[in-house]
Each structure stands twice: as structure tokens, then as C-alpha cells.
């Protein structure tokens, strides 16, 4: 296991109630693990604990087979972190930013030019990054988190501020890294991104994991056997629902398909967001 957490909890100083409560989860090598929940549910706090930004947690955490409390500074040679908001030196160029951050590591790092090209960012741009768009800054922050070729990559809302084409590029990069063995801890409230990328997801609400499973298995467990059919009855378009859990409805459905001009058939499968709402009783707002 790359990460093993048992009974992980945390209370901010001066606050009466914990922000996360007794979390148990594991992450394997090459796994994309989604930590999903509404704003304020404890996602970012958990990420900060796992990256040693926040001390003083309760419970046990092991990363790379070693207790997190006992990790040395070399821990950061093996970890990449990209927060939701860009954290860059605005007066420096993109390549100056990457070159500066590369100096923090005691391991071989990526060439800045290669990082920029992979994320569709300009090479040789002499403008300070303060002149770049938010989406470009976010991609640069993402690239910075990959400089040390980390086997463990923490991502917080990685497609925020991206146009559709660059959102696709980032999702492709995440899949590519996972296929090469990188473990990815992805915090998000975007269920579409999580459904596409994650091997497993944890639903976090009020600091507690309500359910943890593969997205497909969650959707299958909450699937409906309702089928909606649109067909022609002479010149009229008709919509009819069939509950395929019963034999009588199955027979009626088969008869309709055999005798009518069918335009569309849709199974009423839940989305991951539908499942989240059913399981937690909460939306993602």
C-alpha cells in the first residue's frame, strides 16, 4: 500500500468539533483515489494532513510503508502536490518558476521545457506569469507538482478554470501517470471527473466517510430497472416507462419493441452524483 490511514481525525485549534472524524482508507500503487464531497466536508484538510502541512492529527497514517510522523524531509522528493489555487512567483516567468522549484529536490527533475509542452504552455515566454490567464497558471502549478516525478500525486480540483480542451488534456495526463504506476489522491466535488478517472471513491460528508467503492459498483448498486421508450403511434410521439423488474412489464416492453416504430430507448441509470445524493442525503453545493 502507498497510503494506509486508520482512525484519522483532526480538530483545528480553538474549535470545539473535529473537521474530520476517524477516517479509514488505503490507496494502492497506480490507483486514482477520489475524495469526494461538498465544500467544507474536510477534503482539503485531509490532503493537508497527508502532505504534512497540518500536524497534530489523531490516528495512524503510513505512507510508503513508514509512519507519517516519522518521515524525514526526503518525503517531499516522492510527493507532488497541486492545490486548487495557483501558488506561483508572479514576477518570474514560467521557466524561472519551474527552475526555482526544481532546486528544492534532491532527485532528478523534469526539464521545464518538457513540462510546459506537455501541458500546452508556451516555451520561451518572457512574460511574468502574472500576465497569464488563470487556466494557464493552474496548468503551470500542475506542472510544478510533477517536476520531481512523484510516485504519489495529490490533486485538488485539477480541472478548475480550464476550457474543455485543456480539461481533457489534464484528465489524459492523470490517466497516463496512473498507468505508469503513480498513485493519485484526487479531491473534488466534480462527480463527472471522478467517475471518469477514479478507480475508487470515498464520499466524505461532515468529516466522515459515508461510503467507499468503485464508481461503477456504486452506480450498479443503486441502478434502476426502469426503461424509457419513445415511439411513434401513427403521427404522434409517445413516451412510456417500463419497470423491467416485473415479468408483465418485460412482456409489454418486448411487444412494444416488436410492433411499434421505436425512436429511442433509455435505461434510467444513476449518475455518481445521483448516488451521492441517495447515500448521503446531501448535494454537492
Q: What is the mean pLDDT of the chain?
A: 92
Residue 273: is its pLDDT beyond 90? no
Q: Residues 170, 35, 273, CA angle at the centre, nearest 5°?
A: 85
Q: With bands split at pLDDT 50, 70 and 90, how would you rate the model's confidence at 280?
A: confident
- How far CA 109 is from CA of 78, 121, 180, 284, in Å, comes to 11, 18, 17, 37
Q: Residues 193, 37, 153, CA angle at the centre, nearest 5°?
A: 55
Q: Please tell me the distance from the alpha carbon of residue 3 to that of residue 74, in angstroms, as a whole number.
A: 17
Residue 93: is its pLDDT beyond 90? yes
Residue 267: is its pLDDT beyond 80? no
Highest average pLDDT, of 133-142, 214-223, 234-243, comes from: 133-142
Higher-confidence residue of 196 and 222: namely 196
pLDDT at 41: 87
DSSP states of 38-81 as a string? -TTSSHHHHHHHHTTSS---EEEEEETTEEGGG--GGGGGGEEE
Q: Percent of the chain beyond pLDDT 70?
A: 99
Decide the pairing of beta strands 66-67 and 20-27: unpaired
- How far CA 143 is from CA of 23, 26, 118, in Å, comes to 30, 26, 8
Residue 243: is its pLDDT beyond 90? no
* pLDDT average, residue stretch 103-107: 94
pLDDT at 220: 85
pLDDT at 62: 97
Residue 284: is its pLDDT beyond 80? no
* pLDDT average, residue stretch 28-53: 92
pLDDT at 9: 97
pLDDT at 285: 59
Q: What element of type H or E holds 187?
A: strand 183-188
pLDDT at 114: 96
Higher-confidence residue of 124 and 235: namely 124
Of residues 35, 42, 88, the one with CA closest to residue 198: 35
Decide the pairing of beta strands 183-188 and 152-156: parallel
Q: Please tell me the distance from the alpha carbon of residue 249 to that of residue 227, in angstroms, as a whole number.
A: 10
pLDDT at 140: 97
Residue 184: is its pLDDT beyond 70? yes
Encode pLDDT of 117-173 as tens digits.
999 999 999 999 999 999 999 999 999 999 999 999 999 999 988 999 999 999 999
173: which 3 cell numbers? 495526463
DSSP H helical segments within the chain, as ranges?
43-50, 94-102, 112-118, 134-144, 164-179, 191-197, 215-221, 247-259, 272-280
Neighbour count for residue 186 (Cβ, 10 Å): 24
List CB contacts of 205: < 8 A, sequence separation 6 or more: 37, 38, 41, 280, 282
pLDDT at 222: 82
Residue 269: is its pLDDT beyond 80? no
Q: What is the pTM of this model?
A: 0.85
Phi/psi-derived region of residue 182, left when phi > 0, alpha when psi is between -120 and 50, beta in every other case: beta
Amino acid at each position: 500500500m502507498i497510503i494506509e490511514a486508520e482512525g484519522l481525525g483532526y480538530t483545528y485549534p480553538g474549535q470545539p468539533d473535529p473537521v474530520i472524524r476517524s477516517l479509514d482508507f488505503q490507496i494502492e500503487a497506480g490507483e486514482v483515489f477520489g475524495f469526494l464531497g461538498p465544500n467544507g466536508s474536510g477534503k482539503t484538510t485531509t490532503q493537508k494532513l497527508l502532505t504534512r502541512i497540518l500536524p497534530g492529527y489523531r490516528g495512524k497514517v503510513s505512507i510508503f510503508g513508514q509512519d507519517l510522523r516519522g518521515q524525514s524531509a526526503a518525503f517531499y522528493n516522492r510527493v507532488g502536490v497541486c492545490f486548487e489555487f495557483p501558488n506561483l512567483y508572479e514576477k518570474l516567468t514560467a521557466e524561472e518558476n519551474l527552475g526555482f522549484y526544481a532546486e528544492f529536490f534532491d532527485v532528478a527533475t523534469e526539464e521545464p521545457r518538457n513540462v510546459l509542452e506537455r501541458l500546452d504552455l508556451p516555451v520561451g515566454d518572457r512574460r511574468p506569469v502574472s500576465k497569464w490567464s488563470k487556466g494557464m497558471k493552474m496548468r503551470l502549478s500542475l506542472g510544478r507538482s510533477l517536476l520531481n516525478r512523484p510516485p504519489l500525486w495529490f490533486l485538488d480540483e485539477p480541472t478548475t478554470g480550464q476550457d474543455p480542451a485543456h480539461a481533457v488534456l489534464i484528465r489524459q495526463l492523470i490517466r497516463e501517470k496512473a498507468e505508469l504506476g503513480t498513485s493519485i489522491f484526487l479531491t473534488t466535488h466534480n462527480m463527472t471527473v471522478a467517475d471518469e478517472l477514479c478507480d475508487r471513491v470515498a464520499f466524505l460528508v461532515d468529516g466522515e466517510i459515508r461510503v467507499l467503492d468503485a464508481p461503477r459498483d456504486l452506480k450498479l448498486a443503486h441502478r434502476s430497472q426502469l426503461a424509457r421508450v419513445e415511439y411513434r403511434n401513427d403521427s404522434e410521439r409517445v413516451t412510456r416507462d417500463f419497470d423491467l423488474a416485473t415479468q408483465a412489464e418485460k412482456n409489454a416492453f418486448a411487444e412494444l419493441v416488436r410492433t411499434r416504430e421505436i425512436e429511442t430507448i433509455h435505461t434510467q441509470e444513476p449518475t455518481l452524483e445521483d448516488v451521492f445524493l441517495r447515500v448521503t442525503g446531501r448535494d454537492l453545493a
